[in-house]
Copies of this chain bind each other. A is one copy, B any other.
């Protein structure tokens, strides 16, 4: 039985458990803590930044993959040096870890993206602002997620605290019609498979809802998104699932916002809405097994994130009120604002499907 080791015990590792159970794959998780979301599959608890911990964990795994992109490059390279199959590998993960390197690489690949610059001083930021209508998005190259490490600026000194630590990424503030996400999986041997393009609705810099497929977009936008994801996956050598977060700008361009080299929040709708979920596909991809069909199970799928907590009585109430909706709880203790679960509805009519998903999610407000 193939053994897949996952570094990180969050909800992404947790959601790999069901397809591993189905496919007869042994999943092992290196968790941060004994009560991690993926604790059921945890075979080790330790610090993913510690080389000895990670190497010991990897010893009896056929493939190593990830719940997050934070494993240091030195640890990743040590893994590769010991002969571990690491998917995605360090050279790909670099571009998910460092946003400045990501922008440089996408430029080399000719992938459409917002105007950007590496900015090392308030003076340089002033120049970038002057060239972009007096507004920009500034991002720390590393460590950001869910809106953290991202700041909208209109004054040259608004990023001084970050600039004291090193260069930052300045990006054109794109005027967009909507945000989209293109999910793709790629095997080490090369084949790729995309899912239908989805729309992601953000609130406060965090994904709130996903609609699959993205409504209102043209065929040209769908083709552009799939082409971008394929170019990035092949160009960067991603193995496993790659999520490309995109803007559809008001002037009709499709531009790369962010990359994630792992199953992604924008793909949770595939668990209940696709022939092959992103979690099953990720396992198949990192094992270099054939990829599954990504057709939707219904014309529409709607996923809504739940923050804070999902108390069991609320789960029961949601299931009772909406017997067609699927509820996913990540087994985390309550914490304000943290992603704690999601609900998914699928159906023939978009409005009705959105209604059912929201009606179920409302039980967790």
Contacts and interface: CB of A to CB of B under 8 A. Distances in A.
A315 B18 contact: no
Interface string A272-286: 000110000000100
Interface of A: 1-2, 14-15, 17-18, 21-24, 26, 40-41, 271, 275-276, 284, 287, 289-293, 295, 297-298, 310, 312, 315-316, 319-320, 323-324, 326-331, 341
A341 B293 contact: no
A331 B284 contact: no
Contact of A327 (B22, B41, B287, B330): B22
Contact of A17 (B18, B26, B276): B18
A319 B290 contact: yes
B298 A316 contact: no
A329 B1 CA distance: 10
A319 B284 contact: yes
Given A22-B327, A24-B312, 19 more contacts: A14-B21, A15-B21, A17-B17, A17-B21, A18-B22, A21-B40, A23-B328, A24-B341, A26-B331, A275-B323, A275-B326, A284-B319, A289-B316, A290-B320, A290-B323, A291-B323, A292-B324, A293-B323, A297-B298
Contacts of A24: 310, 312, 315, 328-331, 341
A22 B319 CA distance: 13
A349 to B, nearest CB: 15
Copies in the complex: 2
Contacts of A293: 323-324
11 contacts: A18-B18, A18-B22, A22-B327, A22-B328, A24-B315, A24-B328, A275-B324, A275-B326, A289-B315, A289-B319, A290-B323
Contact of A316 (B15, B290, B326, B330): B290
Nearest to A292: B323
A319 B292 contact: yes
A310 to B, nearest CB: 6
A2 B324 contact: no
A346 to B, nearest CB: 8
A1 B312 contact: yes
Contacts of A298: 297
A112 B323 CA distance: 32
B329 A23 contact: yes
Contacts of A326: 22, 275
B23 A327 contact: yes
A307 to B, nearest CB: 15
Contacts of A291: 323
Contacts of A320: 289-290
Contacts of A310: 24
Contact of A2 (B312, B319, B323, B330): B312
Contacts of A21: 14-15, 17-18, 40, 331
A21 B37 CA distance: 10
A364 to B, nearest CB: 12
Contacts of A23: 315, 327-329
A323 to B, nearest CB: 4
A326 B24 CA distance: 12
A316 B286 CA distance: 13
A178 to B, nearest CB: 28
Contacts of A289: 315-316, 319-320
A41 B315 CA distance: 22
